[in-house]
Amino acid sequence: MRNRPLFLVITVATSIASGLLTYTPPAYSAVDAGTFGGVRLGVFKPSADRLIVRNGEPYEYRDEFGNMAYGLQFGHTFANQWQLRSYYDRLNLNVRAGESDGQSEARGHSYGVDLIYQSQHGLYAGLGINSTRSNKQKDALPRATLGYRMDLKDRFFTTLEYNVQHDSDFTDQQISWTLNYHLGRDARQQMLPREFRERRARRAQSSGGNPSPPQ
């Protein structure tokens, strides 16, 4: 089943998100500032021009979304909604020829840094630089990202994104699902608009309470 990696990504993402998700469509959605880390799971579509050489013979990779990618990411979201993120993915690549000798797969890796702008409506976009190694080919490619973020329970959030990286030789694509955890302040409080937190603090003070000052 060639699309098994894609099916696996969808199944795992749906199962974990449904267990964590407590989502009520809000009128306002803020972006949490602070540091985060997470796991990544996706599918990778290598350029049709990428080749692997075995025993002196060149073989093509399967240029389809049937190649598994998995890894880790870490980043920091600033108060102005800009985000700097680094990531590392392992690649399991399928080879068009070689099934008869039991060598139908190859390994590679991909890592890089993205500068991302996160909107208050869940959508985000970014640009970055990526280094992808497959067989003995290693290239640095400009990379574009478009994705959607959804907040889950407590400090968790999940994303689904599409990436394309391109230079004069190769054009690779990737679809990734991530599950992330905020390492800093209480993300739940930061989801509230500042004006709402200030009004709530004033009401608590007038009733004799002693709330924490809004951040």
What is the pLDDT averaged over residues 117-139? 88
Question: Does 78 have pLDDT greater than 80?
Answer: yes
* Tens-digit pLDDT profile for residues 141-161: 999 999 999 988 778 999 999
User: Cα–Cα distance between 65 and 147 in angstroms, integer?
Assistant: 17
pLDDT band at 61 (very low <50, low <70, confident <90, very high): confident
pLDDT band at 170 (very low <50, low <70, confident <90, very high): confident
Question: Does 168 have pLDDT greater than 80?
Answer: no
* Tens-digit pLDDT profile for residues 91-107: 998 887 655 455 578 88
CA Rg, the chain, in Å?
A: 21
User: Cα–Cα distance between 137 and 100 in angstroms, integer?
Assistant: 24
pLDDT band at 43 (very low <50, low <70, confident <90, very high): very high
The two three-digit tokens of residue 86, written as one number: 């680094």
Protein fold of 4-206? Porin (2.40.160)
Tell whether pTM > 0.85. no
pLDDT computed for residue 183 by the predictor:
85
The two three-digit tokens of residue 138, written as one number: 């290693």
pLDDT band at 196 (very low <50, low <70, confident <90, very high): low
The domain locations on the chain are 4-206
